[in-house]
Structure 1
Amino acid sequence: MSLAYRTGRSLRRTLVQAVPTILGIVILCFLLLQLMPGDVADVLAGESGAATEETLAAIRSRAGLDDPILLQLGRYLWRVAQLDLGYSTRFGTPVSQLILERLPNTLVLMLAALGLALGLGIIAGSVMAIHAGRWPDRVLQVVVLFFYSTPGFWIGLMAIVLFSVKLGWLPSGGSMTIGIAPTGLDFLRDRLPYLVLPALAMASFFIAVYARLTRATMLEVLQQDYIRTAVAKGLSPLVIRMRHALRNALIPVTTVAGMHLGNLLGGAVVVETVFSWPGMGRLALEAVTGRDFNVLLGVLLLSSMLVILTNAAVDLLQAWIDPRTDLS
């Protein structure tokens, strides 16, 4: 059975499973949000300093908040089926527009953090496995333990103190230089310094996870019979470690990486707040504090879709790494 056929079947299966999963997530989140005290009318009234009961009733009526919960849920699901995420009462903007404005920043930050975590974690884990029991392994295990046991936001704050306040090498917040509109390579040179610290803060914990997992898996793989056969054939140690041992050790690493995407999305709330990064994490926080449930539901819906798509991509990546992987 060809890889292309198995890939198509896997994508169809993922799509069939995704629809009820996303529907269940939307319904559960909608019902749980109804348990939160207050609504957007209360928040707007508090910010304005004073509001009459008639004003609050008008805001709730315009937003449909005075309707029965099941009616609100049915109306929201009907809008979602039409690809309409509703209107933000607090921001005065369609929810889809708000999310599309913030989504690219969050995707860039998440991909940078995930790439940094996988790259450094796999390299560190490979070095630890190759030099198991010797000083490179012991030194790297101390570094990995530090990253594993230290909260990412604390590492971010200390990085701001060191690299921004003391050394002045990197900016302490934001996503780009205000007042300029660079293009091409100038755009990348302007954005990259702002990306380094938040990506490091978000990736620190996962660097430790992937390093320890790569070390353990690679040590196990190096004891397999086919590795002994490769050694007996006279293959170079570099080929054995990189092509045979590391490639098979990457399968559990990619599995865990796909599972961690939801954790990255959750960590984006804290990291984006610390570094004033204009992404979906900060948007979700602003929606919670402002009781803007349409925005929060839109962020949760898109986040669940990203997690499902990422797990499908991980399945395909594993099939490429190991053709024996079952995609059925």
Structure 2
Amino acid sequence: MSTTTQRLGSTLRRTAWQAIPTVIGVILLNFFLMQLVPGDAADVIAAESGAATAETMAQLRTHFGLDLPVLNQLGAYLNNLAHLSLGVSPRHNVPVVDLIAGRLGATLLLMLTALGLALLAGLVLGGVMATHVGKWQDRLLSVLALLLYSTPGFWLGLMAIVLFAVKLGWLPTGGNITIGADLQGWDHVVDVAQHLILPALAMSGFLIAIFSRLTRSAMLEVSRQDHVRTAQAKGLGPVRITLRHVLRNALIPVTTVAGMHFGTLLGGSVVVEVVFSWPGLGRLALESVLARDYNVLLGILFLSSLLVIVANMLVDILHAWLDPRIQLR
């Protein structure tokens, strides 16, 4: 086994152990925060039925375990987690895992596409600004980054719908597939991609501004270091120096911020999914809040926390690969 593989394996084990207390803290914090929210699923079910007696309300709360003391509810919740279960949704009367599994793929597709687009555009724009620092390219792209940074994602999404969907008719206004088309194979892939473009652009606009400015500043800082001047003295070409010596080291702060903003993407997905009618976890979370379906909401928060922790673990491993000098403690 190579030294690099051993170091990456050690990094993975260390970060995994460090994540355990974080997961426990997230579970307890989410549960007790839900207890502070007024109302429960029985209230919403009774309101939708039009009328409910006190006996009916009591039976609903007993059926779903809502009348138990807080510590008993916590014990039942932890017991479900120990058995890899998130409980049952009072609203839908189906396992929470099934509800989340049906929405998780759409949210991950949207988030990863938006993050990949933001990283790619941010690195390219930041690289252009760094290599043309002080010139018109740098000034123009800096203004563009400032506009993207100051534009709310929901407004950007609405304007994109008006322009590309309503005015030009190039792209669909919402959803993730064309309902009733029953497309298969490559046609299905193209259809999903067309529905994905606008929400991914709306979600990535803010991050593109951050990554481009961060890439610019990181590349300018790295370009002044001794190893870059040594590479220039050896006669290496500017493209090779930029890609291998400057950009690689500049990726460390960029990927760090990307890992930190993974949670921001999860939070922002609620707004974007509502605007574009995207059937993901964001819309499910909003529906759960409105229905006081706290079992589903706890499941979404728990899964979201795990995704953020895994994303930061991957960032740590990426840092150890980019720079062998990095040793995580």
Q: Tell me, yes or no, whether TM beats 0.5.
A: yes
Aligned match of 1:172:
173
The answer to whether the 8 A contact 1:6-1:327 is kept is no
Aligned match of 1:68:
69
1:125 and 2:126 correspond: yes
Residues in 1 aligned to 2:192 and 2:136: alpha-carbon distance in whole angstroms: 38
Aligned match of 2:46:
45
Report how far residue 182 of structure 1 moved: 3.0
Residues in 2 aligned to 1:11 and 1:214: alpha-carbon distance in whole angstroms: 26
Once the two structures are superposed, the pairs formed by residues 1-328 of structure 1 within 5 Å of their partners are: 2-328=3-329
Report how far residue 91 of structure 1 moved: 1.2
The answer to whether the 8 A contact 2:89-2:96 is kept is yes
Report how far residue 79 of structure 1 moved: 0.7
Report how far residue 22 of structure 1 moved: 1.2
Residues in 1 aligned to 2:19 and 2:218: alpha-carbon distance in whole angstroms: 31
Residues in 2 aligned to 1:117 and 1:36: alpha-carbon distance in whole angstroms: 35
1:204-251 deviation per Cα after TM superposition (whole angstroms, max 9, x unaligned):
000000000000010111111111111111111111111111111111
Greater mean deviation of Cα atoms: 178-187 or 202-211: 178-187
Residues in 2 aligned to 1:95 and 1:255: alpha-carbon distance in whole angstroms: 32
1:156-200 deviation per Cα after TM superposition (whole angstroms, max 9, x unaligned):
000000000000001110000112333332221110010000001
Residues in 2 aligned to 1:32 and 1:100: alpha-carbon distance in whole angstroms: 24
Residues in 2 aligned to 1:151 and 1:34: alpha-carbon distance in whole angstroms: 32
- In structure 2, what residue type is equivalent to 1:298? G
Look up the SS of the partner of 2:121 in the other structure.
helix
Greater mean deviation of Cα atoms: 107-116 or 13-22: 13-22
- In structure 2, what residue type is equivalent to 1:142? V
Residues in 1 aligned to 2:260 and 2:135: alpha-carbon distance in whole angstroms: 32
Report how far residue 10 of structure 1 moved: 2.0
Look up the SS of the partner of 2:319 in the other structure.
helix
Look up the SS of the partner of 1:156 in the other structure.
helix
1:141-164 deviation per Cα after TM superposition (whole angstroms, max 9, x unaligned):
110000001101100000000000
Residues in 2 aligned to 1:263 and 1:284: alpha-carbon distance in whole angstroms: 15
Structure 1 stretches lacking a partner, 5+ long = none
1:60-81 deviation per Cα after TM superposition (whole angstroms, max 9, x unaligned):
0001011100110011001101
Residues in 2 aligned to 1:49 and 1:224: alpha-carbon distance in whole angstroms: 71
Aligned residues: 328
Look up the SS of the partner of 2:106 in the other structure.
helix
Residues in 1 aligned to 2:265 and 2:219: alpha-carbon distance in whole angstroms: 25
- In structure 2, what residue type is equivalent to 1:92? N
Greater mean deviation of Cα atoms: 99-108 or 175-184: 175-184
Greater mean deviation of Cα atoms: 19-28 or 75-84: 19-28
Report how far residue 285 of structure 1 moved: 0.7
Report how far residue 327 of structure 1 moved: 3.6
The answer to whether the 8 A contact 1:268-1:281 is kept is yes
1:15-37 deviation per Cα after TM superposition (whole angstroms, max 9, x unaligned):
22222211211111111111111
Residues in 2 aligned to 1:300 and 1:107: alpha-carbon distance in whole angstroms: 15
1:76-127 deviation per Cα after TM superposition (whole angstroms, max 9, x unaligned):
0011011010000101211000000000000000000000100001100010
Look up the SS of the partner of 2:134 in the other structure.
coil
Residues in 2 aligned to 1:115 and 1:193: alpha-carbon distance in whole angstroms: 17
Residues in 1 aligned to 2:100 and 2:247: alpha-carbon distance in whole angstroms: 39
Residues in 2 aligned to 1:259 and 1:112: alpha-carbon distance in whole angstroms: 17
Greater mean deviation of Cα atoms: 237-246 or 267-276: 237-246
The answer to whether the 8 A contact 2:16-2:313 is kept is no
Residues in 2 aligned to 1:114 and 1:138: alpha-carbon distance in whole angstroms: 25
- In structure 2, what residue type is equivalent to 1:274? V
Structure 2 stretches lacking a partner, 5+ long = none
The answer to whether the 8 A contact 2:8-2:321 is kept is no
The TM-score, its normalising length taken from structure 1, stands at: 0.98
The answer to whether the 8 A contact 2:104-2:281 is kept is yes
Report how far residue 277 of structure 1 moved: 0.2
Residues in 2 aligned to 1:38 and 1:18: alpha-carbon distance in whole angstroms: 33
The TM-score, its normalising length taken from structure 2, stands at: 0.97
- In structure 1, what residue type is equivalent to 2:136? W
Greater mean deviation of Cα atoms: 201-210 or 3-12: 3-12
Q: CA RMSD, aligned part only?
A: 1.1
Residues in 2 aligned to 1:319 and 1:59: alpha-carbon distance in whole angstroms: 53
The answer to whether the 8 A contact 2:12-2:317 is kept is no
Greater mean deviation of Cα atoms: 133-142 or 9-18: 9-18
- In structure 1, what residue type is equivalent to 2:324? P
Report how far residue 201 of structure 1 moved: 0.6
Residues in 1 aligned to 2:154 and 2:224: alpha-carbon distance in whole angstroms: 39
- In structure 2, what residue type is equivalent to 1:302? L
Look up the SS of the partner of 1:120 in the other structure.
helix
